[in-house]
Amino acid sequence: MGPLSGLEKQRAQYKESVAALSDAKRTRLVLVARAQRSTLQEAARTCEELAAIGLTNQYLVINACCPRVRRREIRCLAVVAREEAALTAIPDVLRGLPTDRLPLKAFNLVGLGGAAKLLQ
């Protein structure tokens, strides 16, 4: 018995977990990033690390994308331009993933009230 028996149990549990997460019928891994260069790079790094252990059923959600704005809103134009530049330069490993883009919401999403607004 001893300490090695616990280690063997953990190995088996890890193997079962990886098998479940690798099964496209049971699991979809959703990577969530903002339309910013740094978060897209982090999502790419995570994508590669997960793929290296066999977790390839991945999906990308780009969250809180700014809507198109009127020309008078200079600060918003700058944010939209940065987002578009980041998305144009998206890392290659993310280009092949199925992707959804979610718009930035103009209300607080915290709590039940926020979740209810999101679903309306």
For 58-112, write each residue's pLDDT tens digit.
999 999 888 776 666 777 788 888 999 999 999 999 999 999 998 887 777 777 7
Query: To 10 degrees, the CA torsion angle through 97, 49, 39, 107?
Result: 70
pLDDT at 64: 87
Return mean pLDDT, the chain. Answer: 86
Portion of the chain with pLDDT greater than 90, in percent: 47
pLDDT, average across residues 16-31: 91
CATH class, domain 11-103, is alpha beta
Q: Considering all CA atoms of the chain, what is the largest pairwise distance in Å, rounded to the nearest integer?
A: 72
